[in-house]
Structure 1
Amino acid sequence: MTTPPTTPAAAPGATRRLTTAQALIAFLARQYTERDGRRHRLINATWGIFGHGNVAGIGQALVEAGPAMPYLQGRSEQAMVHAAVGYARQSGRLRAQAVTTSIGPGATNLVTGAALATVNHLPVLLLPGDTFATRPADPVLQQLEVPHAGDVSVNDCLRPVSRYFDRVTRPEALIPAALQAMRTLTDPAEAGAVTLALPQDVQAEAYDWPAEFFATRVWNVRRPAPDPYELEQAVRAVRTARRPLIVAGGGVHHSGAEETLAAFAAATRIPVASTQAGKGSLRHDHPADVGGIGSTGTATADDLAREADLVIGIGTRYTDFTTASSTLFADPAVRFLNLNITGFDAHKLAALPLVGDARTAIEALCEALGALGHRVDLAYESAYTEAKERWERRVDAAFAAGDPEARPTQAQVLGLLDELVTEDDILINAAGSLPGDLHKLWRARSAQQYHVEYGYSCMGYEIPAALGVQLAAPGRPVWALVGDGTYLMNPTEIVTAVQEGLPVKLVILQNHGYASIGGLSESVGAERFGTAYRGRTEQGEFTGAPLPVDLAANAASLGMDVLRAGSVGELRRALAEARGADRPTCVYVETETADTVSGPPPAQAWWDVPVAETATRPSAVEARKEYDRQFAARRRHL
């Protein structure tokens, strides 16, 4: 919790002469959020890489601001956004960070991170430099000329991935732009990437700013209550359902509604499945928790989904992984009740909408149903409880380490972590085969432990996000879990972790290629083409020996302490040592494939990846037959 400093009332007509960049940084330093009576500083730091487009503007302003606006030095523009997003997610969207870059490639490198932030409804403020507003010379260094539009720059590619975009072409235009930016960042229905493109000449231009622009502002993060009519309809739907199922999405976490959901589930005994973003909404040992749902879900949750007559979505976007590409909710009479803070998501799947804050709306539902003494049938509760116990035995089998001298499987790596961590630990992942294994197998012990970015599933997110999470949660063990493919995408912020003394724990699972897409490729008849990290044979195919790369040596060269683990026993010791380390530490392990030893259970539901309709190779012909069989089960919920 942060207490904002008091700001003396400005005299009428008082002004401060500052550059545009200095004014923006001074403004950002006095913005706060408030929810449930607790205040937090909104923009806690600014990440930056400097070039000619921002060094004399935002860069100089940060020098002048000193400790009033902490500066974090990044190595990759995309990674800086990922770090800021990790910080915002760990902070419950009540705190955020800014990211500044130069013009040209520095600005366009923001696009992937911005898309990730907006997809996941996580606030980040982007401050890319832009070409001269006054156009003293066209083109300037790194300027893209657009022959049919003189007012377009590369920064315009940030428009479709930003929740709010503005180009500040005059100093005084910063005032409405900055206020709109803060409104968007703090609105729970609008949060995402916000871009203020800043022409480099305007950044350095001085202006007499009204003193009230720099007054302390507190932005209330609202908790809108549901409409009474919608609430009445929702209560009626729940009361008449025989096999209801809750699907908890990321909105549960964004609202801080975990305890409220736990109380609601305990009172009604309605089972709770979770999306990737919603996992951890209930502890794994809550009686109503049935695990992940959808294409990477548990058998328990997916079987319940197939038979559910009412699906209660709370804060979910219903992606294709959650719905198993519209094949999962199979009851002919199934209905949907969607509790969401955005009307756009609340109306999906032709649902009864319940628009409002997740915690507030669950409380209203709980009060209404509690007064009616509502609870699911005991036979339904007993059935899913027994199914959950059966699934837990399958998890135990996948996690079982066995021979301490053997090379571990990926599932066994997770099992060893499962033995080690407490509710304080935070696990971060985003792409590859790990999200599927984690969603099916991981036993979340706290609301913040499971940090898997699967809205955009962006390779390279994990390491920089771990920095942001560690900054937001000092003292807690933070683990970034990556495969070799993801590591090679974006390891540069290891240097930043070393520079800042952030004791993140990096686990590199070396499987010599894109394991997830390799498996998918095989299943759709593409024969794992182009997915292994291997040398070429004389025939030109990538089926030679594994590439002689040494990712552990690479991590060490960037400043990490590295622990190599060649067996289950060595890995157990290395993970324990890394957890206790007080500086950035990497655990490197080569994993065994699940083809030779017990691996995780297979997918419990389908995912639609279209297969070639015509082909000569037998693998694709057979894959198309299976695709047609699964496709026939798709339906539109109208």
Structure 2
Amino acid sequence: MTCAELLIRLLHETYGVRALFGIPGVHTVELYRGLEGSDVQHVTPRHEQGAGFMADGYARASGQPGVCLIITGPGMTNMATAMGQALADSIPMLVISSVNRRDTLGLGQGRLHELPSQQQMISGVARFSHTLLDANTLPEVLARAFAVFNGARPGPVHIEIPIDLFNAPVNVPVSWPAPRLYRAAPDPEGLAEAARLLKAAKQPLVLLGGGCVASPEVARALVEKLDAPTVTTINAKGLLGRDHPLDLGANAALPAVRELAANADVIMAVGTELGETDYDVVFDGGFHLNGTLIRIDLDPEQLVRNQRVTLGLVGDAGLSLELLLGHFSEPLQRDGKVRTAAVLSALNLPNDPAFSDFVPLYAMLAEHLPEAILVGDSTAPVYAGNHLVSQPAPRRYFNASTGYGTLGYGLPAALGAQLARADLPVVALVGDGGVMFTLSEIATAVEERLPVVIVLWHNAGYEEIRRYMDANGVARLGVDIQAPNFLTLAEGFGCPGVLVESPAELARALANREATGPLLIEIDAAAWQKNLMSPGDNNEE
């Protein structure tokens, strides 16, 4: 067996990988010999960045690492942006690439796809990057990668294999079972102290981040025992279930939630960075925690970032919540539901002018696709949805407006989510500016017959940047960009499309869709906003 054949065998048989994302190149063709006849699905995106975003969406929707096969040099530079987004949001992604022959590395001989140091370049967007120098060490290196995914703070891992090793014979292990890795538990004494502080609290607050998504039941049970208002970040949406009476949603940047947070005497933050794209999206530094802060995180360094911590516990979020729950035999009574309802009433999100254009959009999606996974780019409907949307379960709402904040994410990530969860509908929420980064992935959706609904908000350029320019007295340059005819482009790819100008037309498009392949729904933003002001349209059925 060759190194390339062993790689595919280990990925599939040992680690249960079901799908790979990649574009074949002359440096990676030997990997495809290992794929022939296997049960692993290979998906060919139209750009390596698309491959990375698909793997990201696959991982977020399924909880399993997304895996990419990428060529040397330009393949990896194209992948770097997707890896940066995954690193920022702690998404498990395995990137396996080729690299030039071992005897040529670092020599600068002008070889095909050569970089001075591919590993050095990519290390900044990976948990680790490893160059395989001996084919027989492949099982150990893969085990390291999956140890990061299953036992540490996850993120992208890069393994590069010199092209002269693909055909190298290997000593085939009789078996290489995946190691059983148990989750890290917090210190019992620290856990008891955390429980004592929470029991004594008069106005507690809980902050739950994306690190908790694997443990919705225990998170919900503990929040209810604490009777504490709870912020669930963008990546934690659905953790408590839809419209839970203690859920403040991802609204930590809004005044009423900020006031509640500033007045809380004990705050417990679990599996969250406490970063600005979750707690300070207005970027004014106005989110303050003045009380006793308890933090639980798998990464010890994260415990001391962004806010002053009183008690830090290193441990897996789900296991920590489970062990902490054991300290509370009876539910506490702190008027949590009343406090939460008062804050939500003060927010009055459906009537907030900043979000009102999108209330009917999400109402139509909830009515026609109530179980859908909503995957977004950095675009106006997503910025509003971060505040408005409530989901029935975790892993049903994610986008690129957090952390790294890249454009072009929404469409390919939605395709990855659909491949991971064929049992659920998936909606890609994109804008006319951002979608142009990865519009070619419609071809992948058609080829794979993925029934993703692509909702394209067309507001004629980069609206968010236009507003920033206006607010800062900068002339509008580079933001009023020329858009193509999206329906014609979609048709050219073999994807049906429809233009809608009102909620009623959106409802008809959703009701009449054929779930046998992708559908592009282009919303004319100007017409939509105009029709919302017309009472006649709002009464349409």
Please confirm whether the aligned pair reaches a TM-score higher than 0.5, indicating the same fold: yes
Give the match for residue 452 of structure 1: 399
The CA RMSD over aligned residues, in Å, is: 2.6
- Structure 1 residue 29 and structure 2 residue 12: aligned? yes
Structure 1 residues 350 and 117: alpha-carbon distance in aligned structure 2, compared to 1, 3 A threshold: same
Mapped to 2, the partners of 1:489 and 1:518 lie a distance apart of 19
Give the match for residue 240 of structure 1: 200
Give the match for residue 336 of structure 1: 293
Mapped to 2, the partners of 1:387 and 1:307 lie a distance apart of 13
Mapped to 2, the partners of 1:329 and 1:46 lie a distance apart of 41
Give the match for residue 41 of structure 2: 70
Give the match for residue 525 of structure 2: 591
Give the match for residue 12 of structure 1: none
Report the alpha carbon displacement of residue 445 of structure 1 after superposing the two structures with TM: 2.7
Once structures 1 and 2 are overlaid, which stretch shifts more, 230-239 or 481-490? 230-239
Give the match for residue 38 of structure 1: none
Mapped to 2, the partners of 1:383 and 1:48 lie a distance apart of 49
Mapped to 2, the partners of 1:223 and 1:265 lie a distance apart of 22
Structure 1 residues 118 and 446: alpha-carbon distance in aligned structure 2, compared to 1, 3 A threshold: same
Report the alpha carbon displacement of residue 115 of structure 1 after superposing the two structures with TM: 1.5
Structure 1 residues 455 and 430: alpha-carbon distance in aligned structure 2, compared to 1, 3 A threshold: farther
Once structures 1 and 2 are overlaid, which stretch shifts more, 560-569 or 321-330? 321-330
Give the match for residue 128 of structure 1: 97
Report the alpha carbon displacement of residue 266 of structure 1 after superposing the two structures with TM: 2.0
Mark the runs of 5 or more structure 2 residues left unpaired by the alignment.
Answer: 534-541
Report the alpha carbon displacement of residue 595 of structure 1 after superposing the two structures with TM: 8.6
Partner SS for 2:487 = helix
Give the match for residue 497 of structure 1: 445
Is the contact made by 2:349 and 2:355 (CA closer than 8 Å) also made in structure 1?
no
Q: How does 1:168-317 map to 2 (within 5 A)?
A: 168-187=132-151, 189-204=152-167, 206-212=168-174, 215-253=175-213, 256-295=214-253, 298-317=254-273
Is the contact made by 2:229 and 2:339 (CA closer than 8 Å) also made in structure 1?
no
Give the match for residue 148 of structure 1: none
Pick from 506, 522, 525 the counterpart of residue 571 of structure 1.
Answer: 506
Report the alpha carbon displacement of residue 528 of structure 1 after superposing the two structures with TM: 4.2
Once structures 1 and 2 are overlaid, which stretch shifts more, 413-422 or 425-434? 413-422
Q: How does 1:88-103 map to 2 (within 5 A)?
A: 88-92=59-63, 95-103=64-72
The aligned length equals: 526
Partner SS for 1:159 = helix
- Structure 1 residue 516 and structure 2 residue 478: aligned? no
Pick from 144, 148, 160 the counterpart of residue 124 of structure 2.
Answer: 160
Mapped to 2, the partners of 1:524 and 1:399 lie a distance apart of 19
Structure 1 residues 359 and 548: alpha-carbon distance in aligned structure 2, compared to 1, 3 A threshold: closer
Report the alpha carbon displacement of residue 132 of structure 1 after superposing the two structures with TM: 1.6
Is the contact made by 1:292 and 1:440 (CA closer than 8 Å) also made in structure 2?
yes
Q: How does 1:472-487 map to 2 (within 5 A)?
A: 472-487=420-435
Letter aligned with residue 181 of structure 1: A
Q: How does 1:380-529 map to 2 (within 5 A)?
A: 381-391=337-347, 393-395=348-350, 409-422=357-370, 424-453=371-400, 454-529=402-477
Structure 1 residues 357 and 185: alpha-carbon distance in aligned structure 2, compared to 1, 3 A threshold: closer
Is the contact made by 1:246 and 1:270 (CA closer than 8 Å) also made in structure 2?
yes
Q: Which 4+ residue blocks in structure 1 deviate beyond 4 angstroms?
A: 396-401, 593-599
Letter aligned with residue 365 of structure 1: L
Report the alpha carbon displacement of residue 559 of structure 1 after superposing the two structures with TM: 1.8
Mapped to 1, the partners of 2:383 and 2:291 lie a distance apart of 26
Report the alpha carbon displacement of residue 508 of structure 1 after superposing the two structures with TM: 0.6
Percent sequence identity over aligned pairs: 27
Letter aligned with residue 14 of structure 2: Q
Mapped to 2, the partners of 1:365 and 1:208 lie a distance apart of 47
Letter aligned with residue 50 of structure 1: P
Mark the runs of 5 or more structure 1 residues left unpaired by the alignment.
Answer: 1-17, 33-40, 145-151, 402-408, 534-546, 600-638
- Structure 1 residue 85 and structure 2 residue 56: aligned? yes
Is the contact made by 2:399 and 2:409 (CA closer than 8 Å) also made in structure 1?
no
Partner SS for 2:38 = helix
Deviation by residue 1:457-487 (Cα, 9 ceiling, x = unmatched): 2211111111111111113110000000111
Mapped to 2, the partners of 1:522 and 1:334 lie a distance apart of 38
Is the contact made by 1:53 and 1:101 (CA closer than 8 Å) also made in structure 2?
no
Report the alpha carbon displacement of residue 300 of structure 1 after superposing the two structures with TM: 4.3
Report the alpha carbon displacement of residue 556 of structure 1 after superposing the two structures with TM: 1.9
Is the contact made by 1:252 and 1:359 (CA closer than 8 Å) also made in structure 2?
yes
Mapped to 1, the partners of 2:124 and 2:72 lie a distance apart of 18
Report the alpha carbon displacement of residue 177 of structure 1 after superposing the two structures with TM: 2.3
Mapped to 1, the partners of 2:248 and 2:487 lie a distance apart of 37
Partner SS for 1:582 = coil
Give the match for residue 538 of structure 2: none
Is the contact made by 2:208 and 2:270 (CA closer than 8 Å) also made in structure 1?
yes
Mapped to 1, the partners of 2:483 and 2:139 lie a distance apart of 55
Structure 1 residues 523 and 552: alpha-carbon distance in aligned structure 2, compared to 1, 3 A threshold: same
* TM score, norm. by length of structure 1: 0.77
Deviation by residue 1:393-449 (Cα, 9 ceiling, x = unmatched): 541676999xxxxxxx44432333233331x21100131333320111112232232
Is the contact made by 2:499 and 2:524 (CA closer than 8 Å) also made in structure 1?
no
Q: How does 1:356-367 map to 2 (within 5 A)?
A: 356-367=315-326
